[in-house]
A and B are shown apart, each in its own frame.
Chain A
Amino acid sequence: MKISKKVILLGHYGVGKSSLTRRFVHRKFSEQYSTTIGVTIEKKVVQLEEHQVSMIVWDIAGESSHTKVPQSYKLGAHGIVYVIDLTRPETYQRLDKEIADLQNYLPNVPILVVGNKKDLFTEKELCDLLHQLPLSPYALSSAKTGDNVDAMFTELARRMV
């Protein structure tokens, strides 16, 4: 059965939301940073065992808190990817509060926290870093290498159906 789901990407500016989307949808990565203005809509069909999930990905411009994101962009979301930048502590310092707020704002909507730019760390550094995060992320990803990108979106598709 084919179903459509709205997925929103939230997080501070420059954490890699657009890069993750581009990697997931177009299998591409660019070192050049370009700011998202407002929102960019992308679509990707994920094939699960019983369902074909058409994911309408809303790549929303970065904000330091989800409360600054226009409500109409968040309303009706079936799934959320909250992206943090592992190299910038300010992007995850208030992570626990942000996620609690979001769960309150959009109850029963699955949220996956993703620590991006893992390619910039060694395994040992990543282990140390995980202890400093206020919340344990669902996955550590790299839009550059593609590590864990498909797996994370597929897991979200699974949780949304």
Chain B
Amino acid sequence: MLMNTKEETIEKQRAFDRLRRLLLEDEQKEHKELVQQVVELREDINTRQRLQQKVDPIIDEKLSYVREHFPELFGNVLTQAIKRQIRESRDEVVDALYPIMGRLIKKYIVVELTALSEKIDRQLEQAFSWEMWLARAKAWARGESLGKEIIAQAMAPAIEEVFVIEQHSSVLLGSFSRQNIVDRDMIAGMLTAINGFVKEAFAKEDQHLEVIEYETYKILIKNFQTFYIATTVSGVVNAEFKQYLDDLVLEFVHEVMNPTHYDTTYQGKDDYLSEPLQRYFTEATA
């Protein structure tokens, strides 16, 4: 009895195995294939050479896209980041630039000081000369120090350019210059426009712009009824030089720009004033 039961159980088990084989045959096959694929994939991932073969083309393509479109992709972000970095690290930026700027400034100052020192040396060599006694007398008369007088002499003013310009129209009637100026007509136009702007801005019709200063230069303007004379001067312009220039300009106007004389002889000749300007103002240059 017991024997029969055991045989029956074995027979059932066999039947069940057979049934399972029949039902799950396809799934088992798929399972085997999947296992095989996972093994291959693992080898692909774990074997560097095989992984490179697959991934390199994709990375190359992406890299070349990024390279071509870098400004659009990261331009703004980078600019913002650099700006922020500069803003937040101002001290570091200053520290980085300081040696370069410092050297340039130092070099410039050394050159200028050397030039000034040489001039002052020459002045001191003449300390007991007649000129030096004159400088002392001038300084005493003005109530200024001798040092200031020596520096003023070392950086003596010199006339660089003279422009005779028609009021309002800005037409350049004549000019004299120690250098080659790019466009004198444009300078005449701009000076007239600046003059006009100042008058309008400050609503002072009866007053005129008299001085424009830039770096070590000064433009001194002397106004007359139909024209004005702009003189560019380098060096230290003191009251004495101003007086001297005023006299020179007035003399020039009296002799050359005199309405009777000027109107009858000028008659539109564009180089009419060249010779007299040269004659009057060359001596006043350094």
Interface residues in chain A, defined as those with a beta carbon under 8 Å from any beta carbon in chain B: 1-6, 38-39, 41-43, 54, 56, 58, 70-73, 75-78
Contact = CB atoms under 8 A, between A and B. Distances in A.
B98 to A, nearest CB: 36
A73 B171 contact: no
A17 B3 CA distance: 119
User: Considering residues A6, A43, A72, A77, which has the most beta carbons from chain B within 10 angstroms of its beta carbon?
Assistant: A72
A70 B186 contact: no
B268 interface: yes
A51 B181 CA distance: 24
Given A4-B171, A4-B172, A43-B183, A72 B200 contact: yes
Nearest to A39: B193
Contacts, number: 61
Contact of B168 (A4, A41, A43, A75): A75
A129 to B, nearest CB: 35
Given A1-B268, A3-B268, A70-B196, A41 B186 contact: yes
B200 A76 contact: no
B196 A78 contact: no
Most chain B CB inside 10 Å of its own CB: which residue of A5, A58, A78: A58
A72 B189 CA distance: 12
A41 B195 CA distance: 13
Contact of A56 (B167, B171, B268, B270): B171
A73 B270 CA distance: 24
Interface string B183-203: 101101110010111011000
A3 B268 CA distance: 7
Contacts of B193: 38-39, 41, 58, 73
Contacts of B169: 5-6, 75-78
Contacts of A41: 170, 186, 189-190, 193
A71 to B, nearest CB: 7
Return the 6 tightest CB-CB contacts between A and B, nearest first: A76-B168, A72-B196, A76-B169, A41-B189, A75-B168, A70-B200
B161 interface: no
Nearest to B200: A70
Contact of B171 (A1, A6, A42): A6
Contacts of A43: 183, 185-186, 189
B171 A70 contact: no
8 contacts: A3-B270, A5-B171, A6-B189, A41-B186, A56-B171, A58-B189, A76-B167, A76-B169
Contact of B166 (A70, A73, A76): A76
A4 B169 CA distance: 9
A4 to B, nearest CB: 4
Nearest to A3: B268
Given A4-B171, A72-B168, A54 B189 contact: no
B200 A71 contact: yes
A4 B175 CA distance: 14
Contacts of B199: 72
Interface string B256-285: 000000000000101000000000000000
A35 B183 CA distance: 25
Contacts of B166: 76
A72 B167 CA distance: 9
A41 to B, nearest CB: 4
Contacts of A78: 169
A73 B196 contact: yes
Contacts of B170: 6, 41, 56, 58, 76
Contacts of A3: 268, 270
B202 to A, nearest CB: 12
B265 to A, nearest CB: 16
Contacts of B189: 6, 41, 43, 56, 58
Nearest to B197: A38
A5 B268 CA distance: 12
B267 to A, nearest CB: 10
